Amino acid sequence: MVGVEWKTRTASKRSGGIKADESLAELADLAATAGASIGARVIQSRPGPEAATLIGQGKVQELAAEAASIHADVVIFDHDLTPTQQRNLEKAIGTRVIDRTQLILDIFASRARTREGRMQVELAQLSYLLPRLTGHGKEMSRLGGGIGTRGPGETQLETDRRRIAQRIKKIKDELEGVRTGRALHRRRRSAVPIATLALAGYTNAGKSTLFNRLTQAGVAADARMFATLDPTVRPLTLPSRRRVLLSDTVGFIRNLPTTVVKAFRATLEEVAEAALILHVVDASAPSAKEHTAHVAAVLTEIGAAEIPQILVMNKIDRVPADEGELDSLKQRLIAGQANVCAVSISAITGAGVDRLLASIDEALPLDPIVRATFRVPAGDGATLALLHEFGRVLRTEYIDDVCEVEAEIPESLQRRLPLEPEPQP
């Protein structure tokens, strides 16, 4: 693995302000997720990138010797490489060279399970591959038959580019159909006043574990990065008895490839259309603040920055039990974010989950809870059942043949009830 520490402030902004050793540690987790074992790590400090090879020529020679000595199968750069840089490095080092984007796409390809997920990954891979195609000129040319077709003809490179462009167009058309279908489903859901919550956050922050804790869905959750790729939606009943839909989405990461963001637009639209975003962050991670900032940047990129958010500080079981330190971390994470509240939880142990559900009830803008007193005929069991099933009954009193019920219910249920309630002052 190869990382670069930029000396100048302008160049260091490209890495998001994260130190090279921390970024390389994250790359090691990505490589392990892809099934690689790390043979060596190399970091070079430079004022700026070398146009031909990203790193200096001396470091390239050193890297070639190191790769040969440990019989490395692949060299992974913790930076995006241009097609020219990738070709020059492979020629100089004598082994396969990939960059951070290609590694992430490889992980996505191994994790996609649904047809939509596989199409999205293929689109991202083809978009990445297209400018990196190389050919050998006329010796790979294809000649047509008949008058007017003699000459160099169409090279294999041009044919490959044309075929990839055609495949990209076909996948985009199919994903546009998926996008249209999702929009139709959202319109149908909006006809019924049921809100959608979206879990978002840095990869490996514990989103799927929290999803399972809240919905008992049993989705795959492990310590590997990008364990969840295909989104899952499950119903959730809040303490107020409101029912909502909770969506578990793909994790974000520093420098998430643009091709990935574009390819997963249909999936990420579920986040952009949510009524409330639960931004899950690993409170025990040393780079928790940077992770929070990167997720906020992606949410802005997909047009979800204005949606109400709850910052869910997960894994507090790994944080020293110091309330002052936890409050200080909370203030650092929500600094500069207006109208964002923070809740500390542990998805593994369940600590703080009740507070999180109560916070969701308070923050959810759709179908607010109203408190009212209803006078229902004692024989109207259907209305009484609705109040108990979808609301929180606070008081029940029978007066002659009338049942007086004081309850907190969703506003939509208040409109559906056959009897006009008496609102509380």
Q: Is 368 a residue whose pLDDT tops 60?
A: yes
Output the pLDDT for position 329: 80
* pTM of the model as a whole: 0.70
- For 131, half-sphere exposure in the C-beta direction (CA atoms, 13 angstrom radius) is 10
Strand partners, 393: 407
pLDDT tens digits, 263-316: 666 567 668 878 889 999 999 888 888 888 888 888 888 888 888 899 999 999
Strands (E), 172-275: 196-201, 232-237, 243-248
| Per-position DSSP letters for 317-354, written without gaps between them | GGS-S-HHHHHHHHHHHHTT-TTEEEEE--TTT-TTHH
Output the pLDDT for position 229: 58
Report helix, strand or coil for 391. Answer: coil
Contact 151, 133 (CB under 8 A): no
Which of 71-85, 148-162, 169-183, 330-344 shows the lowest per-residue confidence on average (mean pLDDT)? Answer: 148-162
